[in-house]
Amino acid sequence: MDKELSSKKIKDQALKLGFSACGIAEVSFLSDHRPRLQKWLNENRHGEMGYMSNNFEMRLDPALLVENSRSVIVVLQNYYPEKQLHPDSDYLISRYAYGEDYHFVIKDKLRKLQTFINNEIAANQSRVFTDSAPVLERAWAVKAGLGWIGKNSLLITPRNGSYFFIAEIITDLELAYDNSYGGNFCGDCRRCIDACPTQAIGQDRMIDSRKCISYLTIEKKGELPEELKGKYKKWIFGCDICQEVCPWNRFSIPHNESSFELPAQVQGFKAEDWKDLSKETFNSLFKKSALKRAKYEGVMRNMEFLDSDE
C-alpha cells in the first residue's frame, strides 16, 4: 500500500479507537537530546529513579528497542476530566490518576491499533510503549508534529494544552512522516516556573525531581524532605500546578474515556474520609488506579506530611 495512504489509515484508526491525536515520525538517533539527558542524570535530578540512568543509549536510539525500526507512531490520549476534585478539597490527587491506570487502558487500545496495522496495512515487527520502556516520548511527540516541550517539560499541544498521555508504536514499517513541530510558543511566559511551590523547574527548563511534588509523592521512598514541608499545598498524589497555570490549558477539553473517571465516592471525599481510609477500602476503591503505585502506605505518609505542617 502507498505510504501516504497507510499513514492516513493508521491515523484515522487511532482516532476511531479514541486517541486524541496521532502523528508519525521517522526513526532516527536523538543526538540533540543526548547532552540534556546526560546533564540531568549527572546532576542527579532524577532522584531515586535509578532506572532513568539505565539503557542510556536505548533512550536515544529506537533501533535498539525494535530491530530495523523505521517509524515511530505517536498517539496522545486526553485525560482532562470533566468532573474534578474541587480546588477547596482537603486533599488533591493529580488528574491523570483519577481513574484506571493509564498504562493498561492505553496499552489495550494501542494493541488494537497494532493489530489493525498488521491486518489492514502490512505485516510488520513492532512494539507498543506507554511510559513503560526507555523511550523519550515527548521528543517523539515533537518529531511527530504534535506540539512542543514547554518550560514545565511537558508536551504542549497548540489545540488542547498539556493534559495528555503519550504512547507509541515503534515499527519496522516504512510510512509517510509528519514534519517535526516547528517552534516553541511559551514565549516570555514563565507562569509554571513562578507557580511551582518548590522551585523544581530550572531556568534551563529541566525538572529537578528531588524537589518535584509529583516525584516525591509517588516515586520517593521513605521520609520526605523536611525542607519542603509547607510547600506541598494539598497534593497527596502527584501535582498539577504547572499545568493548571499554563495558558495553553484554557483550550483543554474533557476526555471521552469512561475508565478515567474519578470514582463517584471519592468525588465528595472530605479530609476525614481520606484519613479514615482502611487499607482494604483503599485497595478496593483504587483497585485499578495509578494511586496504587504509591501504595496505601505512601498516600498515608503524604497526608501525614501535609498535616504535620498545620
Residues binding ligand SF4 (CB under 6 A): 150-152, 156, 186, 189-192, 196, 198, 200-201, 207, 212-214, 239, 241-242, 245-248
Give least dist CB 136 to ligand SF4, A.
18
Bridge partner list, 273: none
Give least dist CB 294 to ligand SF4, A.
15
Give least dist CB 237 to ligand SF4, A.
12
Copy the grid coordinates of residue 139. 521528543
Catalytic residues: 131
d(CA 133, CA 137): 10
Residue nearest to ligand SF4 (CB): 150
Copy the grid coordinates of residue 190. 514563565
Q: Which of 89/283 has CB closer to ligand SF4?
A: 89
Q: Which of 226/272 has CB closer to ligand SF4?
A: 226
Copy the grid coordinates of residue 249. 490549558
Q: Which of 94/124 has CB closer to ligand SF4?
A: 94
Cβ–Cβ < 8 Å for 139, 301: no
Among left, alpha and beta (phi > 0; psi -120 to 50; other), residue 157 is beta
DSSP state of 301: H
Least Cα distance to 155 among 217, 76, 218, 212 occurs for: 76
Q: Which of 128/246 has CB closer to ligand SF4?
A: 246
Give least dist CB 86 to ligand SF4, A.
19
Look-up of cell digits 510547600: 231
Q: Which of 174/244 has CB closer to ligand SF4?
A: 244
> Could you write out the three-class secondary structure of 201-248?
ECCCCCECHHHCHHHHHHCCCCCCCHHHCCCCCCEEECCCHHHHCCHH
Give least dist CB 236 to ligand SF4, A.
13
